[in-house]
Amino acid sequence: MREGVIRAQATLSKKSIIALAVSLLLTGVPLLVQAAQIMPNPNPAGSTLDIINDPSAVNNDNPYYNGGTINIDAHSTLTNTVGATLNNYPQTIPPGGTLNNAGTLINYGTLGNVVGTLTNSVGATLNNYGGLYNVISATLNNAGTLNNFAGATLVAADQAAGLNNAGTLNNFAGATLTTGIDTGHVVNSVGGTLNNYGIATIGQIGFKNAGTINNFGSWRGGELTNSVGGTLNNFGKYNISYSLINAGTLNNFAGATLTAESIPFLVDIVKRSPV
């Protein structure tokens, strides 16, 4: 797909538009005439939609079906607007670009975030039934509702990749939330709630909690810092493999298990009685 964006004003004459296009071509500037709405809908299997040098690409359709591949370059932003639904089947890859969801984003395939930013805004919903990967130095910011369903995988791994939750993150039974062994990090901010019913595996770079974590499933934490004001409620199995620093509220409920496996660093700054 050709690069560069021209948005000609309505007042320009046809001759002026042609002259402008010729001028750009003669000076070596690539030309792309592109509407803001991504097209076609559906994007068929085997088709690739490249979003290049476009900071204002949008999906307003409800629904939009991606059956092919959507590539978002480092200079571009794709926004799924309020009331819109974007269904992703094979893959959407923002390699350095930005994907903003203000509506409903449903991933059945691979949503690969590579050194880019994926933001699920307040009031928005991101449903993952496939693979949601944040790698290299990519960031996933959730301020809405993020549902990781059975059979799905949510990954924050490699170098500085991160998951920041200020909304509600549900990791359901049969789903997996994971970071790398010594890469990737997760931050559950003030006001954020993380409900784990499935499997959560957090590496040594770790997990910082200032909100609420409810563990009903299996959690293997390489590193956890439960900050002042943070709450960790364990109703399931919580295994500490590296370090736990607790300055908040830690409740280990009846029938739950909290175990440590040869950890070098365990600090319970504010001891809370198990319920």
Other beta carbons within 10 angstroms of residue 33's beta carbon come to 12
What is each CA distance from 150 to 131, 147, 196, 200, 217, in whole angstroms? 11, 10, 12, 13, 13
Structure tokens given for 174: 């049969």
More confident residue, 144 or 220: 144
pLDDT > 90: percent of the chain: 60
Residue 95 carries which DSSP code?
B
**Interatomic CA distance for residues 115 and 103, integer angstroms:** 23
Q: How confident is the model at residue 93 (pLDDT cuts 50, 70, 90)?
A: confident
* Cβ atoms < 10 Å from Cβ of 248: 21
Domain boundaries, the chain: 1-33, 36-268
Give the residues across from 246 on adjacent strands.
226, 268
pLDDT by residue (tens digit) across 203-240? 776 789 999 999 999 998 778 899 999 999 999 999 98
Report the SS3 class of residue 233: strand
Q: Look over the chain and give the mean of its residue pLDDT values, rounded to a whole number.
A: 82
Residue 77: the pLDDT is 96
Higher pLDDT, 227 or 91: 227
Rounded CA gap, 176 and 46, in Å?
A: 29
Q: What is the pLDDT of residue 260?
A: 78
What is d(CA 96, CA 117) in angstroms, rounded to the nearest whole number? 7
What are the angstrom distances between the C-alpha of 125 and each of 27, 114, 242? 44, 21, 33
Higher pLDDT, 33 or 177: 177
DSSP of 219-231: EEEEEEEE-TT-E
Q: Would you say residue 125 has pLDDT above 50?
A: yes
Higher-pLDDT residue of 135 and 82 is: 82
Place of tokens 């693979």: 131
What burial class does residue 99 get, using C-beta atoms within 10 Å of its C-beta: 0-12 exposed, 13-18 middle, 19+ buried? buried
Q: Phi/psi of residue 163, each to 5°?
A: -125, 120
pLDDT in tens, 2-37: 333 333 233 233 343 333 333 333 334 333 434 489
CA distance 181 to 160: 13
Contact by Cβ (8 Å): 190, 168: no
Q: How many CB atoms lie within 10 A of CB 271?
A: 7
